[in-house]
Structure 1
Amino acid sequence: MARSIEPYDPDHDGILEIEEVHPNFVEVYFVPPEHRLVEAGLDPKKANSYRTKLLDINGQHNFLTIYPISTFGNRPDFLKPKYGRIERITLDDPNIIFGFDMAVPPTPAEVRDVLENLPSTFTKDYAYGLGLAKPYRFIINAVEALSDCTEIVITGKHATGPAPDGHGIFYIATQNFEQARLELNKIDRHTDSARRAVKWTAAHNILAERLGVPMLDPKAGRHPYRKLFTTVAEGKQDLSEEDQNAVIGALTRHAADIADHQPEKLAKLRGDIELVTLEALIIRYERMLGENQVEACWQEFFNENPFILNMAFGYPVIKVRNQASVGGRKLSGDGEKITDFLVKNSLTNNTAIFEIKTPQTSMLNRTPFRDGVYTPAAELSGSINQALDQKYQFQKQIAQIKDNTRLYDIESYAVHCCLVIGRTPEGDDQKKSFELFRRNSKDVEIVTFDELLEKLKQLSAFLRAAEEQTS
């Protein structure tokens, strides 16, 4: 016989129904709300036909089983298991089932108490789908990477590992589960602390520089994790030897546990570091755009972060050399042609030439040539001819360059030229004139500094959304 459990808000959260299977054993089901069914393109009048199991509460054998499902109608896995392979999480250790006194709660309020009194490792609001809370999702990922099991049992009765009978159960000993929880919490604390320190310092330095006040370095802290996060958040590529040894030592001490229980943690840590580094890089890029930096500063910036140049193309490139000689030397010894960056397609070895100017470079003449038509500024057209001359010299002397440099894996089939210069013009007529000009520049691809910044921001937003989607 089914009886409804009064929800917090049935219209918003959906309805829970509880069925008694036999004395002291009940099953709890979720009936989705109308707005979730509408989002999923399902008939809200047939809500009861979409009810899905959420819980087994067994007082006789002292266990509670959670069925983690997706409860959001706008997701393709609506009402399906929200993890990749794990379909059930069972708690059979009374020490971690707070509020569960080995008897099925007789009232709806006491059923909710069971959920509310679960450890903080778990999601407690059924409207958001039960299971492990977002910061601990990596435990699920680790189990799925280490086994083909479909159920996790957190227990005080078995050692950690797959059940020997092959029934698809992965046991996690209570002490190992607690160890994983504490370690993940520790990483989150150090990450948050480092992020706050770097953001505070970045905001302070932007204002301090304009006031002529000395700028600060973020406080790295003592813990090697904190130092690591702070360093990458600043956009630095290298740690001091002392810090490298400290980080390696800390990770080495946990190597066995990571390898045995949570290999996905390292992958997640790397992803977090890369994302924080990218966000710090965007802050640095924006700060440089607001300053009158010379060409050399921008060349150094791209030399430190060559992946930004990759985004100017639709194919994979790797840097061959910065400040590369492409020929053109006269008998007197002068006139050497130097390109800012020589890169190549990592699959075909075809080369490309990058010429880096500054965001302050004029793009169009201020006075229109005709009504609504603007011509390219001398700095823009001159930079294009400079890149074309470098291409000409490089193609003419490619054989000698290969011999002199012993770089034999570069080719000049169709040398691509890319010019990073100026900012996107303001005004509709100026934008139109600029696009008409550069789209007809078939031999030199023109990219503005603010366009590269926008690509970085889009990449950051994409990675952040992907992280949230998988968390």
Structure 2
Amino acid sequence: MEHVEPNSEAIHRETDKKTEWQYFDENSNPVHLSKVVHKDKPLIYIYPFGYSRERGVTKKKVHTVELRGWEKIKNIPTSLRSGSTVKLTVGKLKLLMNFIYQSFPEVEKVIVDKNGSSRFSAKTITFNFQDLERVLKAISKETRTYETRKKTAIANELAKVTQKVSPRTTKLSKGALSHHLSFYSDDVSLSEADVDAVLSLISLTPSLNVSVTENFIQTKDKINVAYLDDVIKKFKELMRVKNDNEKNWQSFFESHGWILANIFPFQVVLKGREAYVGGKTIENKEGRVVDFLYQNGFKDNYALLEIKTHNKTLIRKKPYRAPDTFSAHEDLSGAISQCLDQKSTFLTDMGQKYKALDPKVILVVGQKSNLDENQASCFELLRSNQKNVDIVTFDELLEKIKGLKDVLQT
């Protein structure tokens, strides 16, 4: 046998049926059978290993790679080899094998079959080559996407601390969004910011590129339904609170202003939260503040909206006259008086400065579902005879939101 370069791979034995390759150590001694190429059939065996002078030969976890359908090393696709070497520990193949090691801890052999089927067992993994190529291409795509996002994130964070680095943006190519969402389960919880981002993305798309089909409209409806689910969930959580949580309700309605806006039979624009409506004394005290102040779409009138809590009592439990006549509870009568005072003060102090003919006043308070049949009847009579204050209960608002969701779902 001719002299072999130390620490190299070379042909050790050749017959009519196969060629065997060995790895030669620093003394040019053969120490490991590294691969076998058959001549009588398209079959190649690779035997992965490691070698160092101190430890000698170390076998890899997968000690056999069988390549079916290729006659020569040079014919093996470059996705599986580098030059004349087949390695499972480089690039995307390494990422794949790391996953396989975790999922199949007993694996010892990997087969790549040019024409056969993919099969997975505890100790042997068989890939159809086309299946393997698809997996490797997917890994490459995700790796490129990750690298782009990583560089963009680094640049954007650095741009916040120095003007010498410019922020970057990444182009969202066709199919990228659906591909990204395919990684997530159907159990999705969307925040209002998530919904705004998706709708903003749709609005940025040129109209020529969007087919306004039934499917597109249904997609927008699904987004809105997911958002409404989140709103309903938060609404119910606030309804379960036992203490006085008026400030929490005000914050909730400020975040979801459309809920209150839908109470009005006409278009309104929010002019202010906790708005001053007049009434201060000469000592600059006792000013009236309404929770929400709205202006109508024609800007020739205003509307005052006062928020109490769902825990406020609407009707007294004890009948005013037995058995079925009930009077308003002081929670309700006091709130009505407050609303009337705010309206009167607003007209007196602000009516000349701002166009305000006869401001509409709405009071959100209590829960009608807490009333029995006779109490509910008395409440409806009282409410319908209140010409200056419209009374809406919290559970009625919740039903309005649920009704909107039902419309979108159908």
Task: Say if 2:187 is the partner of 1:196.
Answer: yes
Q: Please, what TM-score do these two structures have when normalized by structure 2?
A: 0.51
Greater Cα offset, 314-323 or 328-337: 314-323
Residue of structure 1 equivalent to 2:191? 234
- Structure 1's unaligned 5+ residue stretches are 1-178, 199-232, 403-410, 466-471
Q: Provide the rounded CA distance (Å) in 2 between the counterparts of 1:235 and 1:286.
A: 17
Classify the secondary structure of the residue corresponding to 2:187: helix
Q: Provide the rounded CA distance (Å) in 1 between the counterparts of 2:193 and 2:283.
A: 42
Label 1:259 to 1:187 Cα distance change in 2 as closer, same or farther (>3 A). Answer: farther
Q: Calculate percent identity across the aligned residue pairs.
A: 28
Q: 1:339 aligns with which of 266, 282, 290?
A: 290
The one-character-per-residue Cα deviations of 1:49-104 (angstroms, maximum 9, x if unpaired) are: xxxxxxxxxxxxxxxxxxxxxxxxxxxxxxxxxxxxxxxxxxxxxxxxxxxxxxxx
Residue of structure 2 equivalent to 1:260? 209
Q: Any residues of structure 2 matched to 1:140-219 within 5 Å, and which?
A: 186=179, 189=182, 193=185, 196-198=187-189
Q: 1:288 aligns with which of 212, 215, 238?
A: 238
Q: Provide the rounded CA distance (Å) in 2 between the counterparts of 1:428 and 1:375.
A: 14
Q: Please, what TM-score do these two structures have when normalized by structure 1?
A: 0.45
The one-character-per-residue Cα deviations of 1:143-162 (angstroms, maximum 9, x if unpaired) are: xxxxxxxxxxxxxxxxxxxx
Q: Provide the rounded CA distance (Å) in 2 between the counterparts of 1:238 and 1:323.
A: 28
Aligned residues of 2:280 and 2:286 also touching (Cα < 8 A): yes
Which amino acid counterpart does residue 350 of structure 1 have in structure 2? N
Task: Say if 2:389 is the partner of 1:444.
Answer: yes
Q: Provide the rounded CA distance (Å) in 2 between the counterparts of 1:440 and 1:288.
A: 30
Which amino acid counterpart does residue 280 of structure 1 have in structure 2? D
Label 1:273 to 1:442 Cα distance change in 2 as closer, same or farther (>3 A). Answer: same
The one-character-per-residue Cα deviations of 1:164-216 (angstroms, maximum 9, x if unpaired) are: xxxxxxxxxxxxxxx98x679648746x73x5142xxxxxxxxxxxxxxxxxx
Which amino acid counterpart does residue 412 of structure 1 have in structure 2? A
Aligned residues of 2:292 and 2:306 also touching (Cα < 8 A): yes
Q: Provide the rounded CA distance (Å) in 2 between the counterparts of 1:263 and 1:448.
A: 38
Residue of structure 2 equivalent to 1:223? none
Aligned residues of 2:195 and 2:227 also touching (Cα < 8 A): no
Which amino acid counterpart does residue 339 of structure 1 have in structure 2? V
Q: Which has the larger radius of gyration?
A: 2
Which amino acid counterpart does residue 228 of structure 2 have in structure 1? L
Aligned residues of 2:306 and 2:363 also touching (Cα < 8 A): yes
Q: Provide the rounded CA distance (Å) in 2 between the counterparts of 1:440 and 1:322.
A: 28
Tell me how far 1:399 sits from its aligned partner: 5.1
Label 1:399 to 1:373 Cα distance change in 2 as closer, same or farther (>3 A). Answer: closer
Which amino acid counterpart does residue 187 of structure 2 have in structure 1? R
**Counting helix residues as a fraction of each chain, which structure ranks higher?**
1
Task: Say if 2:406 is the partner of 1:464.
Answer: no
Tell me how far 1:435 sits from its aligned partner: 0.5
Task: Say if 2:310 is the partner of 1:359.
Answer: yes
Aligned residues of 1:234 and 1:281 also touching (Cα < 8 A): no
- Structure 2's unaligned 5+ residue stretches are 1-172
Tell me how far 1:236 sits from its aligned partner: 4.3
Residue of structure 2 equivalent to 1:415? 359
Greater Cα offset, 287-296 or 435-444: 287-296
Classify the secondary structure of the residue corresponding to 1:412: coil
Task: Say if 2:376 is the partner of 1:431.
Answer: yes
Tell me how far 1:272 sits from its aligned partner: 3.4
Residue of structure 1 equivalent to 2:59? none
Q: 1:382 aligns with which of 306, 330, 334?
A: 334
Q: Provide the rounded CA distance (Å) in 1 between the counterparts of 2:319 and 2:199.
A: 59
Label 1:350 to 1:184 Cα distance change in 2 as closer, same or farther (>3 A). Answer: same
